[in-house]
A and B are shown apart, each in its own frame.
Chain A
Amino acid sequence: MPDINLTLNGQAVSGTVENRTLLVDFLREGLGKTGTHVGCDTGQCGACVVHVDGVSVKSCNVFAVELDGSKVTTIEGMANADGSLGVIQQAFQDHHGLQCGFCTPGMVMTAAALLKENSDPSEAEIREYLDGNICRCTGYHNIVKSIQAAAAEMNASPVAAE
């Protein structure tokens, strides 16, 4: 079985995987990082979205072995250094952007990818970008509000967003 090395949330990690091990299974079971969720396991729901080398990827739809040497960021990497919630996470809490929370890790990672590409998205752009993220609880309304609030916060104090 191959050994792989990743930079996970800024730290070097390694592990042994089967070729068929999905990234999400390596994260959850191999590394104990259970923040990334599996909603569907078919690439539809977006609960498993993480960033690979800076872009969003569905971690249930990529093999860990393909990513040897990559930089991976998960929801665990979104908190501030002191453990407090990052800007996007805090906005989700403040604006009730979650109910059961199952979709939330993927929503936050997708929102982070969006705000990196487009720091001031319109409501339509946010909804469009969330196309691959399904939420069974909120009806999306407060998720959109949370992302708008996070964008406003980041634009007001760019340093805090780093």
Chain B
Amino acid sequence: MYNFDFVKPSTVDEAVAALADEDAQALGGGQTLIPTLKQRLAMPSKLVSLKGIEGLDKIFVDRGGNLVIGAAATHAQVAATTDYPALASLAARIGDPAVRNRGTIGGSLANNDPSACYPAGALGSGATIVTNGRSIEADDFFEGLFETALEEGEIITEVRFPIPEKACYMKFIQPASRFPLTAVFVAKFADGVRVAVTGASNDGVFRWSDAEAALNTTFDAGSISELSVDADDMISDIHGSSEYRAHLVKVMTARAVKAAL
């Protein structure tokens, strides 16, 4: 690993100022970034730890009824919450206990791994990603493999999740990495159903709009039985073919609808 400067600011403003330096990079829990640095796939001049910022890991329900999660909240902290059970359950199944004690929601969303869990939770909930300068709707945030709407030096400060009537995250695990092979987040709100899929598409997390339309008519697993998913855009690798993943999208969606609480 190349060496780098290290700072641990205590406010968001100081962190943003420190990130203005060329090649400076934010460090959340390091559970993705440190392995990347070990492989010399990144060469930041400076790492700006977000773990020293007072209150950046707060979790609360705001007056509008949204679950607000600070960017530095760990997966373990979110797993321990009770306001939005499907989201807590998603967090509780990321990686393993030690990974969950370090990894953060901000790091996961900023990284936008095509197989990560939180992007499906955020997109499936219609969450709002709040940064140091603006608010971005989840529908506008994810821009393909490892790409997001974040600008250079912009940091996520919190994520606001509207709490649905019912929701479920169904994860078909890839046992070696413990990431999803394919996973689906289904959320039923008073004004409609959202279905977000991770681990399947070459373009990263996406909404399965055909399923949403069918489930809006009747929220029942049977509603999607006639639908099919195009395998053309699906990931194909040693763990599963694109056809297999397309199949899993439908199976996981049906299971999520059945189990939604």
For A105, the chain B residues whose CB sits under 8 A away are: none
Instruction: Tell me whether A18 and B3 are in contact in the complex, defined as CB-CB below 8 angstroms, given that A61-B30, A61-B31, A61-B35 are known contacts.
Output: yes
Confirm or deny: B62 has a beta carbon within 8 angstroms of a beta carbon on chain A: no
Bitwise interface map of A from 16 to 57 toward B, beta carbon under 8 Å scored 1, else 0: 001110100000000000000000011110100100100111
Confirm or deny: B51 has a beta carbon within 8 angstroms of a beta carbon on chain A: yes
Confirm or deny: B198 has a beta carbon within 8 angstroms of a beta carbon on chain A: no
- Out of B35, B38, B47, B76, name the residue touching A19 (CB < 8 Å): B47
Chain A interface, number of residues (Cβ within 8 angstroms): 28
For B47, the chain A residues whose CB sits under 8 A away are: 19
Confirm or deny: B5 has a beta carbon within 8 angstroms of a beta carbon on chain A: yes
A56 to nearest B CB, angstroms?
4
For B6, the chain A residues whose CB sits under 8 A away are: 2, 19, 63, 65-66
Confirm or deny: A154 has a beta carbon within 8 angstroms of a beta carbon on chain B: no
Which residues of chain B (1-55) have a CB below 8 Å from chain A? Answer: 1-6, 8, 27, 30-31, 34-35, 37-38, 47, 49, 51
Q: Which residue of A lies closest to B37 (CB)?
A: A20
For A114, the chain B residues whose CB sits under 8 A away are: 97
For A20, the chain B residues whose CB sits under 8 A away are: 1-4, 37
Q: Which residue of A lies closest to B3 (CB)?
A: A20
A92 to nearest B CB, angstroms?
19
Confirm or deny: B101 has a beta carbon within 8 angstroms of a beta carbon on chain A: yes
B245 to nearest A CB, angstroms?
23
Q: Is the CB of B8 within 8 A of A58?
A: no
Q: Is the CB of A57 within 8 A of B98?
A: yes
Q: Is the CB of A58 within 8 A of B51?
A: no
Confirm or deny: A148 has a beta carbon within 8 angstroms of a beta carbon on chain B: no
- Out of A19, A46, A65, name the residue touching B98 (CB < 8 Å): A46
Q: Is the interface of A mostly helix, strand, loop or mixed?
A: mixed
B92 to nearest A CB, angstroms?
10
- Out of A18, A43, A56, A66, name the residue touching B97 (CB < 8 Å): A56
Instruction: Tell me whether A19 and B30 are in contact in the complex, defined as CB-CB below 8 angstroms, given that A131-B97, A132-B97, A132-B98 are known contacts.
Output: no
Q: Complex: how many Å from CA A19 to CA B99?
A: 21
For A63, the chain B residues whose CB sits under 8 A away are: 6, 30, 34
Q: Is the CB of B99 within 8 A of A43?
A: yes
For A55, the chain B residues whose CB sits under 8 A away are: 76, 101
Confirm or deny: A74 has a beta carbon within 8 angstroms of a beta carbon on chain B: no
Confirm or deny: B165 has a beta carbon within 8 angstroms of a beta carbon on chain A: no
Q: Is the CB of B101 within 8 A of A66?
A: no
- Out of A46, A61, A66, A132, name the residue touching B8 (CB < 8 Å): A66
Confirm or deny: B95 has a beta carbon within 8 angstroms of a beta carbon on chain A: yes
A135 to nearest B CB, angstroms?
14
Give the top 4 A-B pairs by smallest Cβ distance, nearest first: A132-B96, A19-B6, A131-B96, A55-B101
26 contacts between A and B (CB under 8 A): A18-B3, A19-B3, A19-B4, A19-B5, A20-B1, A42-B35, A43-B31, A43-B34, A46-B96, A46-B98, A55-B101, A56-B98, A58-B99, A61-B30, A61-B99, A62-B30, A62-B102, A63-B6, A65-B6, A66-B51, A110-B97, A113-B97, A114-B97, A131-B97, A131-B178, A132-B96
Q: Taking A49-B98, A66-B30 as given, write out 12 further A-B residue pairs in contact, using a Cβ cutoff of 8 Å, ordered by the A residue number.
A: A19-B6, A52-B101, A55-B76, A57-B101, A58-B102, A61-B31, A61-B34, A62-B102, A63-B34, A132-B96, A132-B97, A133-B96
Residues on A facing B (Cβ under 8 Å): 2, 18-20, 22, 41-44, 46, 49, 52, 55-58, 61-63, 65-66, 110, 113-114, 129, 131-133
Residues on B facing A (Cβ under 8 Å): 1-6, 8, 27, 30-31, 34-35, 37-38, 47, 49, 51, 76, 95-99, 101-102, 177-178
